[in-house]
């Protein structure tokens, strides 16, 4: 299982994901899997994490995502175009991948606009196993199907902060009691030390879920974190409880021509 928490204001975005993969019966498969990618598209810097099926066409889902984004030259595409592209590619893959239709997959996308006039926050979901609950800003689990859908989230003109939790099971009830407290921390965090405190708090919340009798065995103590700030630079962090995690989130951006890279001759 993956547990993903996304927190955002107009100044920054955090996306935190644990690193555990399990078999459908809950048995441990891998405790050091990176499920988050930092991608630069034409008008936004994005964090993209997945929950659900960990392999597509014989390739790990994270590497499948990187390959698809790179092949599509994502840095030349707009945010809505990238989301639509992922929807179409996943639907195509699902047509000949039984496990995608059986287990399901969700990509959680969050970022900041980087061009003048662009949206402040870029929020979307691409999934074949979630659907919106009428008149509520939540999604419910549904039986996976072949066709993927994409959902854009517009926080509105009065937007101050955004918080979401996604995983193989519904965790909204578990975080609802803390939503206002986390929201206040989001609004207060400005100085670097406050951002670090906020990041620590989000990781601690994920780790706390390991106490749950229902889902605790599905969640790892180890987490990866992507932070996108108002300078639109993406920072990558590892939270490894016993220092064993060595793999950082992936990065997809426009390649630098070899003749422009400085270094020893």
- The answer on pLDDT for 208 being more than 90 is no
DSSP, collapsed to helix, strand or coil, labels residue 251 as strand
Strands, E assignment, 114-228: 121-127, 130-132, 139-141, 149-152, 162-167, 223-228
pLDDT over 80 (residue 1): no
Q: How far is CA 24 from CA 28, 150, 217, 224, in A?
A: 10, 25, 12, 23
**Position with higher pLDDT, 144 vs 182:** 144
Number of domains in the chain: 1
Most confident of 107-116, 151-160, 220-229: 220-229
DSSP letter (8 states) at residue 228: E
Number of helices (H), then strands (E), belonging to the chain: the values are 6, 17
Closest CA to 52 of 151, 123, 125, 112: 125
Select, from the ranges 74-83, 163-172, 216-225, the one with the highest average predicted confidence (pLDDT).
74-83
- 215 Cβ partners below 8 Å, 6+ apart? 1, 3, 167, 169, 171, 209
Each residue's pLDDT tens digit, 99-135: 999 999 999 999 998 765 556 899 999 999 988 876 5
Residue 114 within any structural domain of the chain: yes
Structural domain boundaries enclosing 190: 3-256
- Look at residue 265 and tell me if it is in a domain: no
Of 175, 159, 61, the closest CA to residue 108 belongs to: 61
In a domain, 134, yes or no: yes
Q: Answer whether residue 262 is part of any domain.
A: no
Evaluate whether residue 264 is within a structural domain.
no
CATH number at residue 32: 3.60.20.10
Mean pLDDT of the residues in the chain:
85
Burial bucket for residue 235 (CB in 10 Å: 0-12, 13-18, 19+): middle
Tokens linked to 78: 């707009």
Residue 261: inside a domain: no
Residue 101 lies in a domain: yes
- For residue range 35-71, what is the model confidence (pLDDT) as tens digits? 999 999 999 999 999 999 999 999 999 999 999 999 9
Please give the average per-residue pLDDT across 245-265, as a whole number: 65
d(C-alpha 14, C-alpha 6), whole Å: 6
Question: Is the pLDDT score of 33 beyond 70?
Answer: yes
- Asked, for residue 92, whether it belongs to a domain, the answer is yes
pTM: 0.90
């Amino acid at each position: 299982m993956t547990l993903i928490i996304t927190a955002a204001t107009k100044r920054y975005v955090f996306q935190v994901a644990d690193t555990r993969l399990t078999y459908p019966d809950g048995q441990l498969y891998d405790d050091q899997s990176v499920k988050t990618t930092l991608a630069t598209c034409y008008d936004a810097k994005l964090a993209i994490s997945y929950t659900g099926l960990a392999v597509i066409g014989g390739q790990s889902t994270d590497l499948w995502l990187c390959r698809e984004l790179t092949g599509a030259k994502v840095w030349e595409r707009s945010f809505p175009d990238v989301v639509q592209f992922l929807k179409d590619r996943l639907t195509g893959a699902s047509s000949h991948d039984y496990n995608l239709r059986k287990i399901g997959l969700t990509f959680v996308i969050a970022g900041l606009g980087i061009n003048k006039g662009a949206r402040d926050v870029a929020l979307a979901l691409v999934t074949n196993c979630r659907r919106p609950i009428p008149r509520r800003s939540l999604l419910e689990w549904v039986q996976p199907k072949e066709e993927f859908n994409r959902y854009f989230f517009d926080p509105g003109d009065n937007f101050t902060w955004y918080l979401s939790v996604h995983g193989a099971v519904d965790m909204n009830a578990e975080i609802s009691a803390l939503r206002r407290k986390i929201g206040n921390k989001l609004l207060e965090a400005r100085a670097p030390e406050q951002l670090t405190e906020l990041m620590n708090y989000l990781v601690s919340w994920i780790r706390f879920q390991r106490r749950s009798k229902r889902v605790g065995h599905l969640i790892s103590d180890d987490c990866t974190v992507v932070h996108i700030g108002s300078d639109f630079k993406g920072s990558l962090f590892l939270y490894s409880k016993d220092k064993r995690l060595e793999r950082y989130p992936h990065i997809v951006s426009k390649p630098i021509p070899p003749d422009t890279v400085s270094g020893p001759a």
